[in-house]
Structure 1
Amino acid sequence: MGPVRRSQGGGLGLVVVAVAAVVAVAVWLAVRGSGPLIVGYLTAPVAMTAAWYACQRIASQVKLSRPVRAFWRQISHASILLLIAAVGGAVMANNDAGMGLYTAIPNVLGIFWGMFALGRLPLGENTALGWARTLLDALTVAVAGTLIFWYVVLSFAPAGTDITARVAAGAVGVSSLVGLVIIGKAAAVPGAPVDSLALRLLAVAPVVAVVSAVMLIAGSPGPRLVVSVLGVPLVAVAFTAAAYRQRMVLARPAPVAPAAPKHRRSVWDFLPLLAVTTTAGLVITVSARQMDGRERAVIIGAVLIVVCVVARQLLGLRENKRLVRGIRTQQTELERLAMTDPLTGLANRTRFGNALTERLGAHHPATVLLIDIDDFKMINDTMGPALGDQLLYQVAQRLRQNSEVRDLPARLGGDEFAVLLDADDVETAEDAATRTLQALAEPFRVGEHHLLAHASVGVAIAGPGDSSDEVLRNADIAMYEAKAAGKAAFVRFEPRMRQDVVNHARLGSELHNAIIRHELYLLYQPVFDIVTGRLHGAEALVRWKHPVRGFVSPGDFIPVAERSGLIVPLGSWVLREACEQLARWRAEHGAGAIKAINVNVAVRQLREPGFVDEVAAVLSETGLLPGNLVVEITESSVADGRQVRETLNALHEMGVRLALDDFGTGQSSLSLLRAFPVDVLKLDKSFVDGIADGEDRGRLAVAAAVAQLAEYLQLSAVAEGIESEAQLERLREMGYRLGQGFYMAKPLPADEAGALMASDPIAVV
């Protein structure tokens, strides 16, 4: 079950309020007696308040573009003006003078404010010629409407009707007719940003206004009362229904490739012609009363010529519209492609950045969830890019289904997604991140496979003065913190994280210089035969003595090297330096020297296409055999992807021995042994700690199982982190032959490690 669309339900409720107001007025008209008229007018402010709220809510939707949000915001402002008119109508309910200034002025202002809102939408050709045509159409209808009201409608006004009421009725009627022209043109534009049905629903408002203006001047008391009390509620129904329609369209997924809209000639296209024809009839009627036969013939002929010219122009527009329609279709498609990710149909980075910038510029709440699929490269490399694309598409659909209507999900590129939330509180942001992780935790059905695609999520809440780049950068920092913490989790950005990034960047720059200036050196952790006490091998460990900072812990600079890519040149230096040192030991100590040197290799090095050739070149230049080198890697490196596995297989076939470091800490250690050509298992220090007292039965069981597994698979087993005689004794009882740790020897400089090769075996009592 998807998330509850609360905002949709609220929109429908506002429509119900407006419709209920219309029904209430209708019932009052049917049953009213001689009671006060104000009772019938009281529902109008309630209905128009619902209309204002509906338009205001749709104006805050982050998914909508800035012009569309501005349009609905201005419609909400027009609703406020009409609300003022409704209140004025209620106050003046017992005044039968018709439409007074209290209602006319805000009504006219509301209509013109709505027309101004519509004028900001595409009305056809966005050129000077297109705007001139629109202006001429509106002017034609305005002039015709003025003449009709002046010579026809006002002629039916009762004697003694106030001049203010006449002017107000004419202004409302004419401006409403012009509003119909503008709505019609906006609704007829293919691919208009505002839904065309919503615009047609809004057209109810000017129609009601025209009818009300006519009836209030020329109608009898009964019909005049009906339109007076029903007019504003009907307009409120039109506004709330239009806003609800726009909300429903917004909630639907956008089509990947919308079909080109078919042109249908609208009734709005004939409004200017209708205005000309009506005016012509009016001219003929008026002239018939005041002119002789020949003068009337001239007037009639002139009018016919005008009608023919207008008809000819309308016929010529058909071909022009066909050409313009093709251009508009291409323009709409290009705009869609520019703002939409072609694979998933979500918003792309450009649209997401624009939406975030607009929200921040308007001082609206904003939170960004930055989502990165964990280990997607391994899936893509193992199963192919086609299946990887299918997985990304399904991830996008999960994000779309999990998002609220006011949220904006997007694909920023690769396996990186984002969601823009209309919120700035921690609880809402973290709840959204939790729901996102839960939505992605369910297996995906991709072809014939069921795949898990966990994600790491960075949460960044926009603060005062933040730019869109800063918010995205904060979310990115938090996302990397989530990955560093173990993946499949979310982390909310905190200011201290930015300082950590700055420190890492500074440390990375200094590390780059350290490699060039030879500030790095190697220590060697001896590996002993814990049965005989003889030195068996050594693990090369890189250290850094900074000229200012002093000793820099590997726990600080190794992660910086891995994140910055410096691990590749750093690892190359360690490999060559360790092999050269082993060659020197062999030349100095002969048969007493250790047989192999252990070198830690990062996954980033294994991804390098030329790594195998580099190892072969170093061995050749130092005079070592492949068997003299042990490459230590972690379990996560083995699971990285096809390129890494191919590199490891090539090293193994060359004769280089492979050691699985920190064995037992991963989630799939046993399965790795089937696919990975391992030679050595190194039991992680966490399983050695605490086994001496025998209280931690879990550690004892794992340590014993690894020893038995290595013996069964004919592998070497090395226990790491031995720090006491009791630990050494217990490991030896379990069957371990090799071990390393501070109890036997700390990491040593090259000369001290070489001295061990010439000394007697250590005591291993």
Structure 2
Amino acid sequence: MTQPVVTAGRSRAAAGLVPLLVAGVATAAVCLWLLLHTGSGVTLGYLGGPIALVAAVYSCWKIGSSIRVSRPVRAFWRALSHSAGLLLIGSCISLALSNNNAGLSLVAAAPNVLGIIWVVVAVFRLPLGDSSALGWARTLLDCVTVAVAGTLIFWYVVLSFAPDATDLDTRAAAGTVGVLSLLVLVIIGKAAVVPNAPVDSLALRLIAVAPMIGVTTAVLLIAGSEGPRLVQSVLTGPLLALAFAAAAFRQKHVLAHPPADATRRHRSLWDMLPLIGVVATAGMVISVSAREMDGRERAVIVGAVLIVVCVVARQLLGLRENKRLLNGIRTQQVQLERLAMTDPLTGLANRTRFGAALAERLGAHRPVTVLLIDIDDFKTINDSMGPALGDQLLYQVAQRLRNSSAVRELPARLGGDEFAVLIDADEIAVAEDAAARIQQALAEPFRVGEERLLAHASIGVALAGPGDSADEVLRNADIAMYAAKEGGKAAWVRFEPRMRQEVVNHARLGSELHNAIIRNELFLMYQPVFDIVTGRLHGAEALVRWKHPVRGFVSPGDFIPVAERSGLIVPLGAWVMREALRQLSVWKAEHGAGAIKAINVNVAVRQLREPGFVDEVASVLAEFGLLPSNLVVEITESSVADGRQVRETLQALHEMGVRLALDDFGTGQSSLSLLRAFPVDVLKLDKSFVDGIADGEDRGRLAVAAAVAQLAEYLGLSAVAEGIESEAQLDRLRDMGYRLGQGFFMAKPLPADEAGMLMAADPVVAKY
């Protein structure tokens, strides 16, 4: 059922494993070369470094360019890709100088030194625990302590083993690499033990292999023999690349599969490095004093060192309890931050995180596209099946969005049944491909409980333009999404600037319509319904019209959609209902038995959702002294399928005695099934089936029109043919068995007084 989604997920997982495999194979090849090396020519052994480091650069860059991850994580992995790039340059220099037996020069070591510094920059972009000034001061003191101790150790211990022929450049380069590597170990150690750090702790530990290799390399370059130095020299590049690629693979895995216990704190001995540096320095002080001072002076030095050690130990004991308390606070803080940025039902990013990511990209003037996704008819599914199954459906939709999104796309749930995807591109082809991909992912049926459901979506696509804000891009996507719904749903539409003007015009028209209801600019026209057999007036359908003081007559096709979208259809519909029933009471008072028995009023689905609609109808009927049978409520097929609340409202109206007419019958996809669940009294054949039936050439329309007449007769319902415009149509419909009809051939919509004239004594008005 979800095979395309699973395949996409597996392909991305395989793609993420490729750089690690390349680095691993390159490292294994170098190890094999070392086993087979005969001592002549070492250029081949150095080839593994550049190859493996290219894979490392790529794997780090992929995470750093993904908008799915948080900003600190992206910044860290981007900086790490830069560091791997510098190490790649250093490896290439080593390859170029592979046949030169000279020691490591400062020029050759410069890219490696810069790469190590860039790792420091990358790690410093992560939270290192306490971010206050005091916390940064402690971190700086730890770094200074390790740097001083490392320098002393290299100067006093490591360099003492250097051969006399070792040049100053090699000594300086090795010492610089060694001390910087120790600093990186300290900083990574601090980042690795921060609870719920954005970068996975194991990934940081894998990266820590790199500075360990740096320290080992520095020591071997100074104090190692020729064999170990060669091994370390050719293996440094591949091992560094393997560490970076393994860390990137681990980070991708954690991002795709977050651990269940995300709040666990990882402990490490690396935060003990400053203390180890103090102890090592103290040992050297004691060692030096033992050789160069007398007994009393040595006692003072040893005592001072012991005091320092005791003070440090005391501080550790005092800080242990504070750390335990801080860890609890930090864990709660991270949990709150995660809740604030994640949708609890689906696990996707929520509106807050999505908006922040969108604003960040727009602020950096980077390309971005937004896809706004709304599940079609979700309210019907939710009402009919219950909110629990509705939530299951939303969860499954979210998983398909997650699995069908590319690495550089951020899926999110904005609320309800509304989702969004942020794309790191502003190309039309890329946006359209993403929209089509999502449509395909949602096309397969969903297994929800014991049911298999189809849940199509309407998608609005908006490419960010110069100067657009996050709100503007989302608003544009929303406009395009509603255009997709109005175009028939289950489709996607790309935003165009003209759509915004249309929305502005609709909003302006909506404001004027609101005023029109208050200022009595609206009026009703009445479309007569005739008995097409006798020619007598049978009823009338109330049609609302608007005469704008400036625009003149505004077409219902223009202002009715505005009323439905803005919610003004509720007060507008209430006004039409009241005015139509008032007019019917006037006709009954004026014409008595000659007046029509009932008035037809169109009711929108939004009105049927109102909790007090049935009571409102009953109140208006009672106010004008009318019976429920004097009202025919016309609704569309889509209204009936809207949900449980609408069906209950219609059932209540039917039980009260109000007659219900199914308008535009035959145009929906489930007309026949509606007749079983819907208490219908009247079927109104849609005008599209009346057009063209006079000549008899359109057999499809003839068949539908005849079938509706027979169905109505069989079920004991009234059948009304709409849109009769010629005598030939009238004759054909009469022959089919239709008794009632309306259309311009018999009468156009009339003002109340002209419609009343048709109700005079002996009202035979047929002209056919």
TM range (shorter): over 0.9
SS at match of 2:130: coil
Pair 1:29 & 2:31 matched: no
Q: Where in structure 2 are the equivalents of 1:605-684 lying within 5 Å?
A: 605-684=607-686
Q: Residue 395 of structure 2 corresponds to which residue in structure 1?
A: 393
Deviations 1:86-140 (Å, cap 9, x if unpaired)?
Answer: 2332333344332212122222222112112111212222233332332222222
Amino acid in the other structure paired with 1:10: A
Pair 1:243 & 2:248 matched: yes
Q: Residue 761 of structure 1 corresponds to which residue in structure 2?
A: 764
Q: Residue 561 of structure 2 corresponds to which residue in structure 1?
A: 559
Pair 1:588 & 2:599 matched: no
Amino acid in the other structure paired with 1:165: T
User: Is 52-61 or 2-11 further displaced after alignment?
Assistant: 2-11
Per-residue deviation, 1:631: 0.9
Amino acid in the other structure paired with 1:541: L
Pair 1:466 & 2:468 matched: yes
Counterpart contact for 2:529–2:539, Cα < 8 Å? yes
Amino acid in the other structure paired with 1:58: I
Match among 47, 50, 55 for residue 60 of structure 2: 55
User: Is 402-411 or 172-181 further displaced after alignment?
Assistant: 402-411
Match among 85, 88, 106 for residue 90 of structure 2: 85
User: Is 331-340 or 300-309 further displaced after alignment?
Assistant: 300-309
Q: Residue 80 of structure 2 corresponds to which residue in structure 1?
A: 75
Amino acid in the other structure paired with 2:110: I
Deviations 1:570-603 (Å, cap 9, x if unpaired)?
Answer: 1111112111222222222222221111111111
Counterpart contact for 1:124–1:186, Cα < 8 Å? yes
Per-residue deviation, 1:627: 1.4
Give the root-mean-square deviation of aligned CA atoms. Answer: 2.0
Per-residue deviation, 1:258: 4.0
Deviations 1:331-370 (Å, cap 9, x if unpaired)?
Answer: 1110111011112222110011112222333344432221
Match among 279, 282, 286 for residue 281 of structure 2: 279
Deviations 1:208-253 (Å, cap 9, x if unpaired)?
Answer: 111111111222222222222221221122112211221222222x
Cα distance in structure 1, aligned partners of 2:107 and 2:715: 95
Q: Where in structure 2 are the equivalents of 1:433-582 lying within 5 Å?
A: 433-582=435-584
Deviations 1:588-636 (Å, cap 9, x if unpaired)?
Answer: 2222221111111111111112222222222222222221111111111
User: Is 89-98 or 373-382 further displaced after alignment?
Assistant: 89-98
Cα distance in structure 2, aligned partners of 1:435 and 1:44: 39
Match among 279, 298, 301 for residue 300 of structure 2: 298
Pair 1:192 & 2:197 matched: yes
Pair 1:4 & 2:1 matched: no
Quick one: structure 1 residues 144 and 321, their matched pair in 2 at CA, closer, same or farther if it must change by over 3 Å? same
Per-residue deviation, 1:21: 2.9
Cα distance in structure 2, aligned partners of 1:568 and 1:760: 35
Match among 12, 19, 25 for residue 14 of structure 1: 19
Cα distance in structure 2, aligned partners of 1:228 and 1:449: 63
Pair 1:109 & 2:114 matched: yes
Quick one: structure 1 residues 14 and 448, their matched pair in 2 at CA, closer, same or farther if it must change by over 3 Å? closer
Give ranges in structure 1 of 5+ residues lacking alignment. none
User: Is 427-436 or 749-758 further displaced after alignment?
Assistant: 427-436
Amino acid in the other structure paired with 1:99: L
Amino acid in the other structure paired with 2:603: V
Cα distance in structure 1, aligned partners of 2:654 and 2:485: 30
Cα distance in structure 2, aligned partners of 1:402 and 1:631: 45
Amino acid in the other structure paired with 2:88: L
User: Is 642-651 or 537-546 further displaced after alignment?
Assistant: 642-651
User: Is 336-345 or 419-428 further displaced after alignment?
Assistant: 419-428
Pair 1:260 & 2:263 matched: yes
Counterpart contact for 2:536–2:766, Cα < 8 Å? no
Amino acid in the other structure paired with 2:158: V
Counterpart contact for 1:141–1:271, Cα < 8 Å? yes
Cα distance in structure 2, aligned partners of 1:210 and 1:577: 90
Cα distance in structure 2, aligned partners of 1:323 and 1:246: 28
Q: Residue 144 of structure 2 corresponds to which residue in structure 1?
A: 139
Cα distance in structure 2, aligned partners of 1:498 and 1:56: 38
Deviations 1:669-726 (Å, cap 9, x if unpaired)?
Answer: 1121122111111011111111112222221111111111111111111000111111
User: Is 663-672 or 728-737 further displaced after alignment?
Assistant: 663-672
Cα distance in structure 2, aligned partners of 1:57 and 1:388: 36
Cα distance in structure 2, aligned partners of 1:602 and 1:215: 84
Q: Residue 697 of structure 2 corresponds to which residue in structure 1?
A: 695
Pair 1:366 & 2:368 matched: yes
Counterpart contact for 1:520–1:544, Cα < 8 Å? yes
Cα distance in structure 1, aligned partners of 2:276 and 2:253: 35
Counterpart contact for 1:251–1:405, Cα < 8 Å? no
SS at match of 2:597: coil
Cα distance in structure 2, aligned partners of 1:739 and 1:422: 58
Amino acid in the other structure paired with 2:724: I
Q: Residue 730 of structure 1 corresponds to which residue in structure 2?
A: 732
Pair 1:161 & 2:166 matched: yes
Quick one: structure 1 residues 393 and 10, their matched pair in 2 at CA, closer, same or farther if it must change by over 3 Å? closer
SS at match of 1:499: helix
User: Is 338-347 or 454-463 further displaced after alignment?
Assistant: 454-463
Counterpart contact for 1:97–1:162, Cα < 8 Å? no
Amino acid in the other structure paired with 1:121: L
SS at match of 2:466: coil
Counterpart contact for 1:11–1:240, Cα < 8 Å? no
Quick one: structure 1 residues 66 and 259, their matched pair in 2 at CA, closer, same or farther if it must change by over 3 Å? closer
Amino acid in the other structure paired with 1:611: F
Give ranges in structure 2 of 5+ residues lacking alignment. none
Fraction of identical pairs, as percent: 77
SS at match of 1:4: helix
Pair 1:180 & 2:185 matched: yes
Cα distance in structure 2, aligned partners of 1:124 and 1:617: 67
Per-residue deviation, 1:50: 2.6
Cα distance in structure 2, aligned partners of 1:71 and 1:264: 19
Cα distance in structure 2, aligned partners of 1:533 and 1:135: 99
Per-residue deviation, 1:514: 1.7
Per-residue deviation, 1:560: 0.3
Amino acid in the other structure paired with 1:761: V
Cα distance in structure 2, aligned partners of 1:133 and 1:126: 10
Cα distance in structure 2, aligned partners of 1:388 and 1:26: 57
**TM-score of the superposed pair, with normalisation by structure 1:** 0.96
